Structure 1
Amino acid sequence: MLDRTLTSALSQGQDGPVTIGGWVETLRDQKRIQFIIIRDESGSVQVTYPRPADEDALADQVSALSHGSFVIIKGQLKHDERVKLGGVEILLEELEVVGASSADSPIADDTSIDKRLDWRFLDYRRPEVALMLKIQTTIEKNWREHWLENGFVEIHSPKLMGQPSESHAELFKLEYFETHAYLAQSPQFYKQMSMAAGLGKVFEIGPVFRADPSFTSRHATEFVSIDMEMSWIDSHEDVMNFQEQLMVKAIQAVKDEHGAQIEALYGFEVKVPSIPFPRIPLAEAHSIVEGRGYKVPRQDGDLDPEGERQISAHVEETHDHEFVFLTDYPKNIRPFYHMRHADNPDLTKSYDLIWKGTEITTGAQREHRVEVLTEQIKEKGLEPEGLNSYLDFFRYGVPPHGGFGMGLTRVVMLLLNLSNIREASFLFRGPNRLEP
């Protein structure tokens, strides 16, 4: 492996010999001096070469460099506070081109998002886009740490299923030897199986698939789902309490590790939320939204995107908070496995978490009593026989439990105030995008 120094570490290094590896970001080929800006995964540095008066092979090599070419630079590190880029520069002694680039890049800073997605590997050379993935890594690291500190077990559930995970809608069906299989919409059934297995608390970070033809700014056909399930809860309130802790831990870590870069590249300061997050029953949320002059047109009782934006604006104004839990959803808009309130069976022990006007999570206490679960399946117009393998989990005893599912890319999109989920995906998948 090349023994190189990352550009981010150069300012702490001593003057003297140094080797770096990166790509050519900028070349200023002047008559008397040549400047190359080299960028690597950690930052960038200025490389300087005074051009000799006579013909010089190294000067010619610098002049021939194309934007984006990967090079190895050897030279003398020199601290100089006059250098705007980090207060250091490298005086060039040797240059090796290890991966030459075509002269003309197909994208620029003002290129459309669709074109940039076509050339996503080049788009990631922009520091703000690369930072997005580093932030995502920090988020996942801190979630995992919090789960493991609290006794959770990580699972990896199958993504090929013999029957739908929740409903027959939004399913990708594919040939599977002599029969058919489905791509998993959710690890929901397997999380609940883990509760029947006595694992107590589990989490999973993995892909899920939705055959949803939506072209909105927050939908994708494949995305990374963040899921957890925990036993021995009293209500969905226990799940909400734990999710608050997860979100605060991750956002605080992002602020601590990347806050300065976010301010420089995205132009805002990360706001760490306080605990507890506000909680508003869905029926009350409708009244609040109507009081703000907006009537939700949906007939099923759920909020639409504008309703979510309005309730978030209300919470921001009254609680100075970016998050809100909407609770107690009607049974008609929740899955059959959500537990109902004992004193009002028309409502479920469930919630959505809204952040900056967009839903990122659905969570609930699950129904664990097989006889009640069977009746709720029938009530939804489904056949219990078609869910026999799922019901088997509950025929041998399951403790009270609950959990949530959350979209990772929505979290990253909202944290960075990005306008579209495509910007927050490593490689976006939608109804008309299967490449690269």
Structure 2
Amino acid sequence: MQGLLNDWRRTNYTKNVTPELSGEDVIIMGWVHEIRDLGGIIFVLIRDKDGLIQITAPSKKVEPEILEKIRNFRKESVVAIEGTVQDSDKAPNGVEIIPRNIEILNLAKQPLPMDPTEKVRAEIDTRLDSRFLDLRKANISSIFKIKSQMFHTVRDFFYDNGFVEINTPKLVASATEGGTELFPITYFEKEAFLGQSPQLYKQIMMSSGMDRVFEIGQIFRAEEHDTLRHLNEAVSIDAEASFMDDIDMMKVLNNMIEQVIIDVNENCSDELAILDHELPIPDEPFPRVTYDEAVDIVNSKGVEMEWGEDLSRAAEKALGDVMGGFYFLTEWPSAIKPFYVMPLESDPTKSHAFDLMYNNLELSSGATRVHQYDLLVEQIEERDLNPDAFGSYLKAFEYGMPPHAGWGVGADRLTMVLTGVNNIRETVLFPRDRHRLTP
């Protein structure tokens, strides 16, 4: 049957076809990127996950039936080509392939819903509607290769530092943090919600004696945002550790981010070059600024901010302009932080909470947690929440909960920093915002 692999098997990816292989036979497989038929000679660019290779078919060297097959190519069709490598200064990688055998594995329908060569530019909604085509572009696939490396490094970092990977439920009976912005669902005869954070489960794990845990998983927030940095489904990198405080966990986070940047530079240099993005490796710990200092900085830049307020977008920009790069924002007001955040002993109006910022983008929130049952119940009630709704969570605090701290990092926002893109939808294969539920 036409289109089956049968005995065809790839011998090389495009980046492995180099001048050193001149005179040798190879089999490459990929998508038809460009076709130029000049009559006596046909040039075809074939694309795979690593790049482009030129197929050169002169009528004097190539059998007529091969030329006929090439003329039946359509852009973005999937083909397999066997041929001989020869030097060519004008071709990608300095080589071209003279075809000897060709198999059309799947012809693409025409016209295409968008142009992967970007000769005709498409808006992001058009691109997301045909994401499978959008991802064939080198700059877009580079984003996800870098994101993959980031996850690889993060997991290695956690394993190397004694963390155990866990998976917590995404179907929950009540608010994981007691807030709003939840997606309700029907769960048989009950109402349930999509989890907005693994926070309470991470803390329960501290009572289990497992000591250090991490999770990389989906979170859901029913926020009606239309911004370049919010999504309703995102991936969070969460960590929690016993017998540590906010200072300790800021060091862990700092070290993890630094290792990610080192590894992306080392293993994704081609992708960074395609994106024209430089990613400097930090040469010292991230600076820290207290919330009090941040309020003064913001007001000094002409943006009004009162103590006790969360940072507005204008305030984030003003602070980011002064601080630049990565920095920790510490000692947040207790009243605007969740009930499980530990207040400062010296001044309970402030807390052991921190955010990791990059310029004006919040990447992470973390804190020393409350581990004392009575204080936890008190803080739940102070926020007009019902402790009974947190029964299974609170139970873990009655039977030996150690001091602990943790944080969560927005993986998609971190990818924005690593790739230099300014729209979070670029960093997610199939983003979910208030307008988009397909593909």
- TM (normalized to structure 1)? 0.95
Q: Work out which of the residue numbers 392, 396, 403 in structure 1 matches 2:406.
A: 403
Q: Does 1:100 align with 2:107?
A: yes
CA-to-aligned-CA distance 1:86-145 (integer Å, 9 cap, x gap)? 111111111111011012221132100011000001000000111111100110111111
Q: Work out which of the residue numbers 351, 355, 371 in structure 1 matches 2:354.
A: 351
Q: Distance in 2 between matches of 1:189 and 1:126?
A: 40
Structure 1 outlier segments of 4+, above 3 Å: 52-55
SS at match of 2:400: coil
> What's the counterpart of residue 3 of structure 2?
none
Does 100-109 or 392-401 show the bigger shift?
Answer: 100-109
- Contact 1:20–1:74 (8 Å) recurs in 2: yes
Task: Structure 2: give runs of 5+ residues left out of the alignment.
Answer: 1-7
Q: Distance in 1 between matches of 2:381 and 2:62?
A: 89
Change (3 A) 1:167 1:13: farther
Change (3 A) 1:170 1:399: same
- How far is the alpha carbon of 1:370 from its aligned partner? 0.5
Q: Does 1:253 align with 2:263?
A: yes
> What's the counterpart of residue 268 of structure 1?
277
> What's the counterpart of residue 208 of structure 2?
197
Q: Distance in 2 between matches of 1:41 and 1:53?
A: 29
Q: Distance in 1 between matches of 2:332 and 2:63?
A: 77
> What's the counterpart of residue 418 of structure 1?
421
- How far is the alpha carbon of 1:267 from its aligned partner? 1.9
Change (3 A) 1:376 1:55: closer
Q: Distance in 1 between matches of 2:434 and 2:277?
A: 32
Q: Does 1:293 align with 2:302?
A: yes
> What's the counterpart of residue 119 of structure 1?
130
- How far is the alpha carbon of 1:419 from its aligned partner? 2.0
Does 2-11 or 403-412 show the bigger shift?
Answer: 2-11
> What's the counterpart of residue 391 of structure 1?
394
Change (3 A) 1:301 1:274: farther
- How far is the alpha carbon of 1:250 from its aligned partner? 0.3
- Contact 2:183–2:193 (8 Å) recurs in 1: yes
Give the number of equivalent residue pairs.
427
CA-to-aligned-CA distance 1:16-50 (integer Å, 9 cap, x gap)? 11001000001111111111100001111111110
Change (3 A) 1:53 1:154: closer
Change (3 A) 1:53 1:287: closer
> What's the counterpart of residue 69 of structure 1?
77
CA-to-aligned-CA distance 1:297-355 (integer Å, 9 cap, x gap)? x7851111222222122123xxxxx1110001111110000000000001110001111
Q: Distance in 1 between matches of 2:408 and 2:401?
A: 20
CA-to-aligned-CA distance 1:231-263 (integer Å, 9 cap, x gap)? 101x31111000000000001111111234312
- How far is the alpha carbon of 1:292 from its aligned partner? 2.0
- Contact 1:83–1:89 (8 Å) recurs in 2: no
- Contact 2:146–2:419 (8 Å) recurs in 1: no
Q: Distance in 1 between matches of 2:204 and 2:63?
A: 74
CA-to-aligned-CA distance 1:138-168 (integer Å, 9 cap, x gap)? 1011111111011100001110111110124
Q: Distance in 2 between matches of 1:274 and 1:238?
A: 19
SS at match of 1:344: coil
State the identity %. Answer: 36
SS at match of 1:95: strand
Cα RMSD of the aligned pairs, angstroms, is: 1.6
- Contact 2:323–2:359 (8 Å) recurs in 1: no
SS at match of 1:395: coil
Change (3 A) 1:340 1:30: same
> What's the counterpart of residue 336 of structure 2?
333
Amino acid paired to 2:215: E
Q: Work out which of the residue numbers 157, 160, 163 in structure 1 matches 2:168.
A: 157
Q: Distance in 2 between matches of 1:344 and 1:79?
A: 73
Does 384-393 or 197-206 show the bigger shift?
Answer: 384-393
